[in-house]
Structure 1
Amino acid sequence: MHDPSKTLPLQCHGCGALSQTTVPDEAGYFDVSRKAVRQYLGLERENDERKPRDTDSIVQQALQSVDVAALERQGINLKALLPESTQRTTAEPATEKVPLCDRCHKLVHHSTGNSIYHPSIESLSDTIEESPYKQNHVYHVLDAADFPMSLLPRLHSLLDVTLRTQNRRAKPVKFQHGRRTEMSFIISRSDLLAPRKEQVDSLMPYITETLREALGRVGGRVRLGNVHCVSAKRGWWTKELKEEIWKRGGAGWMVGKANVGKSQLFEAVFPKGRMDWEAPKHHISVNRDPDSRIRPPPPPQPETNYPSMPTVSSLPGTTASPIRVPFGAGRGELIDLPGLARTDLEHHIAPEKRDQLIMKSRILPEQQVLKPGQSLLLGGFIRITPRNVAPDQELVFLAYAFTPIEAHLTATDKAVAVQTEAEDRPNVENIAVPGTGAKVKHAGAFQVRYDVTKARTGPLTRKEAVGLKVDRLPYRVLGLDVLIEGCGWVEIAVQVRTRQLFPERDDSLSGTIEAQMQTLDLRPEPVNLDKKGGGMEAKWPVIDVYSPEGRFIGYRPPMNAWQMNKPKADPRKRPRKSMKGVKKMDKAMRRAREGE
């Protein structure tokens, strides 16, 4: 029977939008004619009775025609094979499943839907300020695919969060307006970087220093001991983060840009099934502010051991409103906030090709060799071109595209024709919408000046092998990672002779050259060809990047991801023939022919 007191939930637990039945295309819409909604409202009974199959009736009739008493005298008991009378068991009623709104239902089952309007960072700041808890912790979630482009550099200042400085006498706790707010940086989807957890752990010093540079002037003063690199998909370091959330209590706020993996991380680190757990002895006291009469809308979900989790989807902007899920019998809440605007690159891509912008799994790239006069096209709308140099100093670049966008190597003039949508362009796919070619601009010229010689020379510099020092080598291997916002990165490597880097080398300046070679890992500056400075100025290799409107491009020091993601060699292939003694054999055969 229909329960007149049963109504729709106040909000959809998948996206957080308030429930409504008027606008079908908006988030939070519930179609009352949908079966799951009607069953939840009690308008339709769920048929749990199992229909008997035809074969069951045939077996039952055959067993009933058998003389059971005669078989029992022979020691055969067939009563166990007869179907018992169906009696309803008095089992505990299962927890009623709350349906999703139509938008979340289509996202989960059909992978279709529209993105919501992204809120501003000021609105999220106002929401966090209305927190009823005295203890608040902000988890700034960044995406490993384009790290650190998804960083919000001034988030701590907008939220009045004081990051702990390197001064050991600085106070770690600071209350403002009766509340304490702390912040942690979480790099999600770390399984995109390397296949094994140990390899990702070895990247933590690199990740910390890259994050420190991205923070600007503040990065040089803070400790950055609050950086976590996790993977919700593989379960890397999620248990440790879950225990921290449980011990810390209070309000935990998931903040970040759209499509960085907040909802998936939310499900992995939420402390489920702990309503009857005892609080740890040394924990932070969780108290609500008695003077706080404002509550951030909407209200939290009813607390259960295993609550419904937010919807996980690759669509940017899945979460429409804050989703508050309490845990630990009032110990605290974990709040999933809507994602901030991340990139407008999808507006330049054809709607049916926008799935190619999302990096869903780890990429095993193919090594692309860029010879003079060649360029690398990504999807037909992003072009990477090495800058032309003197003919006697032509360089060969290696490129590794860690992006889901298809990479294509071609001549530079053909690449320009494809990118600008010229009439005589070759038959190369361009996934951009028509008219994007006229909007292509120069995104920047980047100096390839990070020294990766030791990581790429193999046994020459390894201690257990030849053990040469980098200073003794007549060349340097330089690298750079070109970032594509929300899509991934392209690793660039090039080998340059030392005399080409410093053509005006002088013995009196040898010390200066060696000092500069030791500082190749400095942050590169924009290329300025008119710069005339004193001293030795190295001639760094330069690459030009062209993209729609000259946007969506960044750079960082090279991660050397190719060293950890090389394709495995096929063991069934014949091994390469050893060249040891081949010259001696050829010389002996030549002498034998001459002697004849």
Structure 2
Amino acid sequence: MENTGVTERFEGACAGCGIAIQTEDAKRPGYAPASALQRETVICQRCFRIRHYNEVAPISMGDDDFLRILDGIGSTDSLVVMVVDIFDFHGSWLRGLPRFVGNNPILLVGNKVDLLPQNINLNRVRNWMQHEAKERGLRPADVVLVSAHKGLHIDELLARISQLRKGRDVYIVGVTNVGKSTLINRILHDYGSAELEITTSPFPGTTLDKIEIPLEDGRSIFDTPGIINRDQIGHMITPQDLRKITPTTRINPKVYQLNDGQSLFLGGLARIDFVRGPRQPFVVYVKNDMYIHRTKLENADDVLQKHHGEMLAPPTGREAAEKLPAFVKHTFKIRPTGTTDLVISGLGWVSLQGKEEASVVVHAPKGVSVGIRKGLI
């Protein structure tokens, strides 16, 4: 891919998140003190606090603002790079993408491949992503697996971008927290200018407007703000608890041999009831230090009532538990058609072998997306 020729600062815009700089109102997005405008690279106060203090900074852009920014992509002649979080594929899927991209080709990028269990067949993961994309009405030109954080397979990604863009602009899109800005930073540091760094953080909504990164051939890469998928559990908990459920190291699956009439709590954020079926393994894929509690189904309601926010944490503390939406039931019949994943958006998944029919109920906070899919692993 061509070396990026990045300017030292974006004229009138924050070099971290892309929002227009303003000096009048500290409570509005884009605020920077007047003294900051004298710096060679200008960033807003929000990006400064995220970058130097890891401080949570609220945003005031609504869904319409994000959609407005993405809405013009379909009228361009460009390559669209859609980034998803492999660990949270279900929750990080950008719905309605075809109406944004028009006839432009799509390169599907699975980020955070470093979180997948060791010895996994990456070709199988690529094929699985192609299948899942097709099920959602999308036919990507190719699938590339990367780790923006670790710098894995970035060469392969850049080669495919160069082959597919054919002299066109590139738009990088995705929902919040999939690692788009981290990926852009990796490209800038390894293949372009390290003078400009896009603000990244573990909190949703960091990039507030399109950021244009000029290329040597006169075209550009555009980093776009993340659309918020509100059915991810991360939007219903505190930033502190979000850190506790967000994996940062390779997942080590945990296997529980369950009889029917038993339940598993994933902290205090979800519960899986094995209602009916033969004894079988339930393989849990969540952050490694997530507390998992097994109990009898008949006792599960009492256990939640007594221990939610304490033993069953996250959420951490009774106050956080009380603010969490009430659990609702999702009933699934697991058929003997191969491995099936029970997916809880933003938290992880539980895998069943599907050798015999089984009945399972998943309890999750109201509004969190819960579903089943063909097994990833």
**TM-score normalised to structure 2 length:** 0.83
Matched, 1:145 2:87: yes
SS of 1:231's equivalent in the other structure is coil
Give the whole-Å Cα distance in 2 for the aligned partners of 1:114 and 1:271.
25
2: CA distance between counterparts of 1:229 and 1:323?
23
Cα distance in 2 for residues equivalent to 1:314 and 1:484: 19
- Number of the residue aligned with 1:335: 222
Cα distance change, pair 363–257 in 1 and its aligned pair in 2 (3 A): same
2: CA distance, partners of 1:411 / 1:495: 23
| 1-structure distance, mates of 2:27, 2:118 | 40
In the alignment, the residues of structure 2 paired with residue 336 and residue 101 of structure 1 have an alpha-carbon distance, to the nearest angstrom, of 17
Q: How far is 1:114 from its partner?
A: 2.5
Aligned partners of 2:322, 2:34: CA distance in 1, in Å? 43
1:429 is aligned to 2:246: no
Describe the shift of the 1:544–1:484 C-alpha distance in structure 2 as closer, same or farther (beyond 3 A): same
Q: How far apart are the structure 2 equivalents of 1:209 and 1:425?
A: 38
| Cα distance in 2, alignment partners of residues 99 and 438 from structure 1 | 40
8 A Cα contact 1:138 1:255, kept in partner: yes
Q: Give the structure, 1 or 2, with the largest relative contact order (CA under 8 Å, sep 6 or more).
A: 2
Q: CA offset at residue 262 of structure 1?
A: 0.8
**1:556 aligned residue (359, 373, 377):** 373
CA apart distance, 1:206: 2.4
Query: What are the ranges of 5 or more consecutive residues in structure 1 without an aligned counterpart?
Result: 1-6, 43-95, 162-180, 275-304, 452-478, 497-539, 561-596
Task: Specify which of 106, 127, 130 is matched with residue 49 of structure 2.
Answer: 106
Q: Distance in 2 between matches of 1:436 and 1:110?
A: 27
**Change in 2 beyond 3 A, CA 1:261/1:448:** farther
Residue deviations 1:196-245 (CA, integer Å, cap 9, x gap): 6x832343222222322233xxx5xx5x4422222223333311222344
**Paired amino acid for 2:361:** D
2:105 is aligned with 1:182: yes
Asked if 1:251 is matched to 2:169, the reply is yes
Q: Give the conservation status (yes or no) of the 8 Å contact 2:80–2:173.
A: yes
CA offset at residue 438 of structure 1? 7.0
Aligned: 1:482 with 2:342: yes
- Superposed, 1:10-25 pairs within 5 Å as 10-25=12-27
Map of 1:41 onto structure 2: 38
Residue 122 of structure 1: how far off its partner (Å): 4.0
State the TM-score, normalized to the length of structure 1.
0.54
| Corresponding residue number in structure 1 for 2:272 | 384
Distance 1:273 1:332 in 2: 16
How far 1:483 moved relative to its partner? Answer: 1.5
2:308 touches 2:321 (CA, 8 Å); kept in 1?
no
Q: What does the per-residue CA deviation read over 1:296-351, in whole Å, with 9 as the maximum and x for residues that have no partner?
A: xxxxxxxxx555131121111110111011021x4310100000011353453245
The aligned residue for residue 209 of structure 2 is 321
Q: Offset of 1:189 from its aligned partner?
A: 1.5
Distance 2:181 2:10 in 1: 23
Structure with greater strand share of residues: 2
Q: Once the two structures are superposed, what CA deviation does each residue of 1:410-468 show, in whole Å capped at 9, x if it has no partner?
A: 2224432243x35x8796234343435772111232424332xxxxxxxxxxxxxxxxx
In 2, the alpha carbon distance for the partners of 1:445 and 1:426 equals 27
Percent identity among equivalent residues? 25
1:56-205 equivalence runs, <5 A: 96=40, 98-116=41-59, 117-120=61-64, 122-128=67-73, 135-161=77-103, 181-195=104-118, 199-205=121-127
User: Contact between 1:448 and 1:543, CA under 8 Å: does it hold in 2?
Assistant: no
Q: Verify the 8 A CA contact 1:20 1:30 in the aligned structure 2.
A: yes
Native 8 Å contact 1:9 1:19 kept in 2: no
For the structure 1 residues 17 and 158, does the alpha-carbon distance in structure 2 shift closer, same or farther, using more than 3 Å as the test?
closer
The alpha carbon displacement at 1:544 in A equals 0.7
Divergent runs of 4+, >4 A: 270-274, 424-427
Verify: 1:263 aligned to 2:147, yes or no.
Answer: no
Q: Which residue identity lines up with residue 311 of structure 2 in the other structure? A: V
Q: Could you tell me how far apart the structure 1 residues matched to 2:184 and 2:121 are?
A: 24
The one-letter code sitting in structure 2 at the alignment partner of 1:406 is: Y
Q: Which runs of 5+ in 2 are unaligned?
A: 1-8
**Counterparts of 2:204 and 2:191, CA distance in 1:** 30
Q: Are residues 434 and 486 of structure 1, via their aligned partners in 2, closer, same or farther at CA, if it must alter by over 3 Å?
A: closer
For the 8 Å contact 1:272–1:327, the answer to whether it is kept is no
In 2, the alpha carbon distance for the partners of 1:29 and 1:549 equals: 35
Contact kept in structure 2, 1:139 and 1:253, CA below 8 Å: yes
Is 1:231 equivalent to 2:175 in the alignment? no
Residue aligning to 2:6: none
Please name the residue that 2:359 is paired with.
542
What letter matches 2:22 in structure 1? Q
Deviation at 1:41, TM superposition (A): 1.8
* In 1: Cα distance, 2:46 partner to 2:112 partner: 25
Residue aligning to 1:241: 157
Partner in structure 2 of residue 362 of structure 1: 250
CA distance in 1, matches of 2:83, 2:369: 19
Q: Does the 8 Å CA contact 2:56/2:239 hold for their aligned counterparts?
A: no
Instruction: Select the residue among 423, 433, 441 that pairs with 2:328.
Output: 441
Amino acid across the alignment from 2:71: D
CA RMSD of aligned residues (A): 3.1
Rounded Cα–Cα distance in structure 2 between residues aligned with 1:486 and 1:309: 27
Q: 1:254 to 1:310 in 2, by over 3 A?
A: same
Task: For residue 11 of structure 1, report the CA deviation from its aligned partner.
Answer: 1.0
Deviations 1:499-541 (A, max 9, x none): xxxxxxxxxxxxxxxxxxxxxxxxxxxxxxxxxxxxxxxxx11
Aligned residue number for residue 51 of structure 1: none
C-alpha separation in 1, matches of 2:158 and 2:135? 28
1:124 shift after superposition: 3.2
The structural deviation recorded for 1:130 is 6.5
How many residues align? The count is 359
Q: Give 2:20's aligned amino acid.
A: L
The secondary structure found in structure 2 opposite 1:146 is helix
